[in-house]
Amino acid sequence: MIRRFAAFLLIASLLCPGCKEDKPRVELTPEDKELLRAKADEKIGIVIMENLPALFAGVVVFRSDAFVSQSRMLDQANLSVLNMFGNTAILLLNSPDIPPLLKERSVKKIYYLCRQGALPRLDPAFEMDIMRRFGEGKEDDPIDFLIRFREPPGEKDEKLVEAAGFTIQARTGTIWVVTGPLRHLPRLLENDRIIYYEAASKARTK
């Protein structure tokens, strides 16, 4: 009887989404809001305000070399470092990690990159170039790079790529050469049909 009642409650909760408790929104102080506006991109703001629980990879730009001057701070904050280059690090973050990071004077900017499982799609050399460009403040400069689809892409894929803010320069089977700013890369990384990202050499873009 108890099992039947529990099953009934489970079904009722699924059929009545409005009955579920909403996740509490994060209350930010005026100082927190100003730091969020000055140091974080729009997606980071959504992660904090909606208190989203999922882990994600974030690009953190520091005012000095990440490895030399920030390793101790990151270790004390118990943050997982996924990669480092120059003054930039890719960290595994979730919502509660962000406000303390924003308050660090050494942190210049925090960008959302992708959900936890999408990072291996980046070619290692391309990932290093991403960190270099973000560290130099060139995330809005358009660059060429290759994207590889799981299956032969079609019109729907073309629309998704263009909607993400990129222009298609060349197409060869499942590989496209696209151009656009790295700031918009997170939009592409949401597309599970794209399985690999690689820097475009001049030889391959001709």
Q: HEC profile for the chain?
A: CHHHHHHHHHHHHHHCHHHCCCCCCCCCCHHHHHHHHHHECHHHHHHHHCCCCCCEEEEEEECCCHHHHHHHHHHHCCCEEEEEECCEEEEEECHHHHHHHHHCCCEEEEEEEEEHHHHHHECHHHHHHHHHHHHCCCCCCEEEEEEEECCCCCHHHHHHHHHCCCEEEEEECCEEEEEEEHHHHHHHHCCCCEEEEEECCHHHHC
Separation CA 80–CA 90 (nearest Å) = 9
The mean-pLDDT minimum among 13-17, 115-119, 132-136, 180-184 falls in: 13-17
The mean-pLDDT minimum among 5-14, 111-120, 150-159 falls in: 5-14
The HSE-up count of residue 166 (CA atoms within 13 Å, CB side) is 28
Q: Per-residue pLDDT tens for 144-178?
A: 999 999 999 999 999 999 999 999 999 999 999 99
Q: Per-residue pLDDT tens for 53-110?
A: 789 999 999 999 988 889 899 999 999 999 999 999 999 999 989 999 999 999 999 9
What pTM was estimated for this model as a whole?
0.82
CA pseudo-torsion sign 194, 131, 83, 145:
positive
Domains and CATH numbers, the chain: 24-118 (3.30.70.80), 140-206 (3.30.70.80)
The torsion defined by the Cα of 82, 52, 184 and 191, in degrees rounded to 10, comes to: 90
The torsion defined by the Cα of 83, 88, 90 and 91, in degrees rounded to 10, comes to: 110
Is the pLDDT at 38 greater than 80? The verdict is yes
Q: Which of 124, 194, 127 is nearest to 160 (CA)?
A: 194
Question: What's the pLDDT band for 14 if we cut at 50, 70, 90?
Answer: very low
